């Protein structure tokens, strides 16, 4: 019995002291899920030239914004729209101007058919039982998907087949695993190596059918005085990042 | 390259939670087992609540309580510069509440199984309640204590809903293994998700096997009479 | 000298009982509380021990007050220095025989008494065994030895041998008598066994429905036909 107590004690002390050492020179980023691959690449590029720890949490813009309002310790917030960063600004939770870092696009993606053939009408194929979109309540990409469906007058016929992903990443996961037959996801995800591996194809939904996906980023109050955060913001504005974002289908805002 | 941070976090969370639960669980279970007050029924129901309540309900109320936008959270933030949302300490508090009945109930049953004459014999020998607890009662209910610890341990390892709501998904702070697995699946990194899941499964299984082995040895002595 | 004057309402299986007990017991006496199950004899013992509280009354020992409902005095059992032997399940399973006795030692008390008692109760060979390996008779012997470690002046026995066979009962009764003589204790024994009562004590309280119905010598106080059965029993044993 004593040996067990001793070993538990040692493990306990080790654990408690282990993770305390990494506080300085670190930034925590909250990013919309459509940036999963794009931002990971940007972060790698940044780390090649700078010291410091950068951790990213991906999720739906609405949820992340809510967490920030509730005190989550994020330094930068990359939203998939401009509205959520604006809301934070109004609450006095930001420490920089909102920088529009790119314009996103939505696509129809499927493994089972090639959406290019029928375009929007692909969604009406009889074999389709489930159509995945992101949850419009807190994911901007979901909201735009909804707008596009309404614009093309497809909402009535498709609404019973819709399944909502918690964020655009989970939405993509629904389609790649076959849980949904087809889905409306982010272009940036469709262009990622992981998605390309899945042997699906996509159709780029015309921009005229929805509000533009002007994606904005902002520094939070938590980042005040954090030089690494400011350095990262500068890096995003630079050409390396712009190229990476462009590769993943983001166009430059005017 | 697989990130092992979630394992450290999970291990830390589970260990700290189980230790805290043991320390507050024993006196609480004693009280519930032996108190003759009629109000004890209310306390018992309160302690048992986390078993019945969906984790998201508990997580929701804790989030409200801890949030710096509300009274309690604001108070903590203002006077102590302490945040409980999205931090490890907040997770510990949430886990302690969430796994409380799993520690208290087995120990409570264990207490009830100790013959009254055993405790009374100790009192008649001049020993106080605390000495009796430590030297007479607890040593004779080892399997209940072990059961309480295993159940709390297991329950905390598997925690997801409460952790997600109260802790978010902050790397190195609140991204425990259960969250990390969900995260990796979402990002379609199925390989990472599989590795995390398998390690967790094997680890939990090994812990249970070794504890049951220890428990079995403790039992063998009893059955000799 | 023990002075007892207590009242307590009991809720039994057969209805409510008003326990009333008023008497005095001299130092060094060995008395028995005799009566059927549910008569309240165990409760009287437990109130003297401090494990139960009377509703009203007082209990005094040699001018020290242990319980007084008027003055709101209620001394904890821990402080009464009484030796008590329960009917069963009172040895600590996690300690050896010796361990059980040593547990009883007070701060600074020498272990000499432990050795003496082990010798007196003939338990030296078994002292390093755990209770689960002992027979019923051996267990109660240990319980008796343990109750005496703190050198109490008062020994309470709650039907200590009723779970044992008659030969073992007889042997253990002899131990009690031996101990009574050696340490000059006041002993109160609760029993529902007539043979035991007659053998052990010179003074019997007959308890019925929570009242002391009779108080005196066994021969005077116990019913005649029971006495006859005792004589029969006596006949088949040694004289």
Whether residues C93 and B121 touch (CB distance < 8 A) is answered with no
Helix (H, G, I), strand (E, B) or coil at C180: helix
In C106-135, the residues whose Cβ lies within 8 Å of chain B are 106, 130-134
Q: Report percent pLDDT > 90 for chain C.
A: 60
How confident is the model over A36-92, as pLDDT tens digits? 999 999 999 999 999 899 999 999 999 999 999 888 999 999 999 999 999 999 999
For A177-220, write each residue's pLDDT tens digit: 888 999 999 999 999 999 998 999 999 999 999 999 999 999 99
Cβ-based neighbours of B153, under 8 Å, separated by 6 or more: B14, B18, B207
What pairing do the DSSP bridges indicate for beta strands C56-61 and C2-12?
antiparallel
Residues 6+ apart with CB under 8 A from A230: A219, A223
Coil, strand, or helix at residue C25?
strand
Give the residue from chain B lying closest to A10, CA to CA.
Answer: B15
Homologous superfamily of the A2-103+214-247 domain (CATH) = Periplasmic binding protein-like II (3.40.190.10)
Nearest to B187 by CA among C5, A177, C9: A177
What is the per-residue pLDDT across B137-189, written as a single tens digit (0 to 9) for each? 999 999 899 989 999 998 999 899 899 888 888 888 899 999 999 989 888 88
- Dihedral sign computed on CA atoms, order C190, C193, C197, C199: negative
- Counting CB pairs under 8 A, whether chains C and B reach 3 or more, is yes
How far apart, in whole angstroms, are the C-alpha atoms of residue B141 and residue C82?
Answer: 27
Across the interface, whether the CB atoms of B170 and A12 are under 8 A apart is answered no
Q: Give me the CATH number covering residue C203.
A: 3.40.50.300
Interface touch B186/A72, C-beta < 8 Å? no
CA-closest candidate to residue A57, choices A97, A93, A29, A18: A29
Contact at CB, B117 and C90, closer than 8 angstroms: yes
Compare C129 and C165 and report the one with higher pLDDT: C129
**Domain-embedded: residue C133:** no
The residue behind tokens 């007959």 is C206
Q: Which of the residues A26, A47, A72, A200 would you substitute to probe the B interface, choosing the one with the greatest number of B C-beta atoms within 10 Å?
A: A72
What's the CA dihedral at B165, B168, B174, B177 to 10 degrees?
Answer: 80
- pLDDT per residue over C58-77, tens digit each? 999 998 999 999 999 999 99
Q: What would the mean pLDDT of C102-114 be, rounded to a whole number?
A: 92
Chains C and A touch (3+ CB pairs under 8 A): no
Our count of domains for chain B comes to: 1
Q: Which residues contact A130 (CB under 8 A, 6 or more apart)?
A: A161, A162, A163, A174, A179, A180, A181
Per-residue pLDDT at C49: 95
B interface with A, Cβ–Cβ below 8 Å: 5, 8-9, 11-12, 15-16, 19, 63, 67-69, 73, 77, 83, 85-87, 168-173, 175, 183, 185-189, 214
From the CB coordinates, do chains B and A have 3 or more pairs under 8 Å?
Answer: yes
Interface contact B115, partner C, CB < 8 A: yes
Q: What is the pLDDT of residues B183-219, one digit of tens each?
A: 898 888 889 999 999 998 998 888 888 878 877 776 6
Average pLDDT taken over every residue of chain C: 89
> How distant, in Å, are the alpha carbons of B71, B188, B224 from that of A37?
39, 11, 64
For residue B7, list chain A residues with Cβ-Cβ distance below 8 A.
none
Contact B87 A73 (CB under 8 A): yes
Q: Given the DSSP bridges, would you call strands A213-219 and A76-78 parallel, antiparallel or unpaired?
A: antiparallel
pLDDT at B5 over 60: yes
For A173, the 3-state DSSP assignment is helix
**Model pLDDT for residues B11-67, shown as the tens digit of each residue:** 999 999 999 999 999 999 999 998 888 889 999 999 999 999 888 888 888 888 888
Domain that holds residue B51: 5-223
Band of residue C239 on the pLDDT scale cut at 50, 70, 90 = very low
Residue B224's pLDDT is 39
Decide if C82 and B124 are in contact by the 8 Å CB cutoff. Answer: yes
Read off the DSSP letter of residue A187: H
Of all residues in chain C, the one with the smallest CA distance to B117 is C90
The residue written with tokens 């950068």 in the block is A54
- Residues in chain A closer than 8 A to B85 (CB atoms): 67, 70-72
Output the pLDDT for position A10: 67
Say if CB C28 and CB C184 are below 8 A apart.
yes
* Contacts with B117 from chain C: Cβ below 8 Å: 86-90
Token output for B87:
């931090």
How many whole angstroms from its chain centre is CA C239?
26
> For residue C130, is pLDDT > 90?
yes
Distance CA B103, CA C68 (A): 41
Is B12's CB within 8 Å of A59's CB?
no
Please tell me the total count of domains within chain C: 1
Answer whether B26's CB lies under 8 Å from B111's CB: no
Q: How far is B43 from chain C (nearest CA, A)?
A: 26
**Do A71 and B86 make contact, defined as CB atoms within 8 angstroms?**
yes
How far is it, in rounded angstroms, from Cα B86 to Cα A71?
Answer: 8
Position C74 in a domain: yes
**How high is the mean pLDDT of chain A?**
90
CB–CB contact A16 B16 (8 Å): yes
Q: How many CA atoms lie within 13 A of B61 on its CB side?
A: 10
User: Does C158 reside within a domain?
Assistant: yes
Six token digits for residue A131: 């159509």
CB distance B122–C92 less than 8 Å? yes
Least CB–CB distance from A67: residue in B5, B19, B168: B168
Instruction: Give residue A187's pLDDT.
Output: 95
What is the CATH number for B39? 1.10.3720.10
For residue range C167-208, list pLDDT tens digits in order: 888 888 998 999 899 888 999 999 988 888 888 888 999 998
Q: Does the beta-carbon distance from B85 to A169 stay under 8 Å?
A: no
pLDDT at residue C229, rounded to an integer: 65
Please tell me the least confidently modeled range out of A148-162, B105-119, B121-135, C188-202.
C188-202
Res C124: pLDDT? 93
Tokens of B34: 């032996």
Contact B33, B112 (CB under 8 A): yes
Evaluate whether residue C23 is within a structural domain: yes
Q: Output the pLDDT for position A13.
A: 63
Do B170 and A173 count as a contact with CB atoms less than 8 A apart? no
Residue of C nearest to B123 (CA): C78
DSSP E strands in chain C: the ranges are: 2-12, 15-25, 30-34, 56-61, 64-68, 73-74, 82-85, 154-158, 186-191, 203-208, 211-216
Tens digit of pLDDT for each residue in A50-62? 989 999 999 999 9
The position carrying tokens 């009274």 is B71
Both tokens assigned to A173: 């996961």
Structural domain range at position C26: 1-81+153-163+184-239
pLDDT score at A21 = 42
Q: What is the pLDDT of residue B215?
A: 73
Instruction: Judge whether B158 is closer than 8 Å to chain C, CB to CB.
Output: no
Name the CA dihedral angle for A119, A124, A126, A130, rounded to a multiple of 10 degrees: 100
Residue of C11, C47, C74, C84 best to disrupt the B interface, most CBs of B under 10 A: C84
Torsions phi, psi of B33, nearest 5? -75, -35
Asked if B170 and A72 come within 8 Å (Cβ–Cβ), the reply is: yes
Q: Which of B125, B140, B142, B223 to mutate to test the interface with C (most CBs of C within 10 A)?
A: B125
Residue C145 — pLDDT band, cuts 50, 70, 90?
very high
Dist CA B92 CA C135 (whole Å) = 49
Selecting from C93, C134, C150 the residue whose C-beta is nearest the C-beta of B125 gives C150
Q: Kindly report the pTM of this predicted structure.
A: 0.80
- Superfamily of domain A105-209 in the CATH hierarchy: Periplasmic binding protein-like II (3.40.190.10)
Site of tokens 């109130």: C47
pLDDT at B86: 86
**Structural domain spans, chain A:** 2-103+214-247, 105-209
């Amino acid at each position: 019995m004593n040996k067990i107590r001793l070993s538990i004690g040692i493990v306990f002390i080790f654990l408690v002291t282990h993770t305390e050492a990494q506080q300085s020179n670190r930034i925590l980023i909250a990013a919309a899920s459509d940036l999963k691959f794009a931002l990971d690449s940007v972060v790698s590029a940044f780390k090649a030239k700078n010291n410091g720890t950068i951790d990213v949490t991906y999720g739906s813009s609405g949820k992340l914004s809510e967490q920030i309002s509730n005190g989550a310790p994020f330094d930068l917030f990359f939203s998939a729209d401009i509205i959520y960063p604006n809301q934070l600004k109004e609450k006095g939770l930001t420490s920089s101007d909102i920088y529009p870092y790119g314009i996103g696009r939505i696509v129809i993606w499927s493994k089972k058919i090639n959406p290019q053939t029928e375009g929007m009408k692909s969604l009406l194929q009889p074999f389709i039982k489930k159509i995945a979109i992101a949850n419009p309540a807190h994911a901007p990409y979901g909201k735009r998907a909804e707008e596009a469906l309404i614009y093309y007058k497809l909402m009535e016929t498709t609404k019973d087949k819709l399944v909502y992903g918690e964020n655009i990443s989970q939405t993509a996961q629904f389609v790649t695993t076959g849980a949904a037959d087809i889905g409306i996801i982010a272009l940036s995800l469709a262009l990622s190596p992981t998605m390309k591996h899945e042997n699906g194809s996509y159709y780029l939904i015309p921009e005229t059918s929805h509000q533009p996906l002007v994606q904005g980023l902002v520094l939070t109050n938590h980042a005040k005085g954090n030089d690494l955060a400011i350095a990262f913001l500068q890096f995003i504005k630079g050409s390396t990042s712009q190229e990476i974002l462009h590769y993943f289908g983001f166009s430059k805002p005017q | 390259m697989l990130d092992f941070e979630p394992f450290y976090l999970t291990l830390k969370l589970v260990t700290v939670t189980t230790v805290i639960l043991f320390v507050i669980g024993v006196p609480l279970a004693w009280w519930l087992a032996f108190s003759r007050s009629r109000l004890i029924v209310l306390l018992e129901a309160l302690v048992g609540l986390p078993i019945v309540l969906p984790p998201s309900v508990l997580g929701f109320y804790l989030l409200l309580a801890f949030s710096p936008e509300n009274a309690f959270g604001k108070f903590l933030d203002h006077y102590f510069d302490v945040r409980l949302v999205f931090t490890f300490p907040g997770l510990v508090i949430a886990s302690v509440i969430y796994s409380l009945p799993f520690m208290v109930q087995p120990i409570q049953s264990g207490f009830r199984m100790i013959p009254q004459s055993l405790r009374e014999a100790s009192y008649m020998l001049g020993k106080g309640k605390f000495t009796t607890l430590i030297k007479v009662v607890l040593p004779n209910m080892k399997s209940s204590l072990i059961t309480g610890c295993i159940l709390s341990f297991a329950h905390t390892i598997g925690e997801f809903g409460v952790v997600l709501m109260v802790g978010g998904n902050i790397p190195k702070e609140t991204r425990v293994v259960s969250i990390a697995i969900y995260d990796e699946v979402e990002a379609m990194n199925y390989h990472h998700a599989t590795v995390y899941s398998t390690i967790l499964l094997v680890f939990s299984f090994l812990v249970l096997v070794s504890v049951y082995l220890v428990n079995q040895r403790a039992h063998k002595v009893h059955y000799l009479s | 000298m023990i002075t007892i004057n207590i009242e307590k309402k009991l809720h039994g299986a057969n209805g409510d009982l008003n326990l009333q007990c008023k008497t005095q017991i001299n130092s060094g006496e060995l008395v028995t509380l005799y009566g059927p199950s549910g008569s309240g004899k165990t409760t009287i013992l437990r109130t003297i021990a401090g494990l139960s509280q009377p509703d009203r009354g007082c209990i005094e020992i040699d001018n020290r007050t242990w319980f007084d409902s008027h003055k709101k005095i209620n001394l904890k059992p821990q402080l009464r220095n009484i030796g008590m032997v329960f009917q069963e399940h009172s040895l600590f399973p996690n300690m050896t025989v010796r361990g059980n006795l040593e547990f009883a030692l007070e701060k600074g008390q020498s272990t000499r008494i432990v050795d003496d008692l082990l010798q007196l109760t003939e338990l030296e060979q078994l002292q390093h065994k755990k209770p689960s390996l002992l027979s019923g008779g051996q267990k109660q012997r240990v319980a008796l030895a343990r109750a005496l470690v703190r050198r109490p002046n008062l020994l309470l026995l709650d039907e200590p041998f009723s779970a044992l066979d008659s030969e073992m009962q007889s042997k253990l009764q002899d131990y009690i008598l031996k101990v009574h003589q050696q340490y000059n204790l006041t002993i109160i024994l609760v029993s529902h066994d007539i043979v035991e009562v007659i053998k052990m004590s010179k003074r019997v309280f007959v308890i019925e429905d929570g009242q002391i119905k009779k108080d005196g010598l066994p021969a005077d106080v116990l019913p005649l036909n029971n006495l006859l059965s005792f004589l029969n029993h006596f006949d088949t044993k040694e004289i």
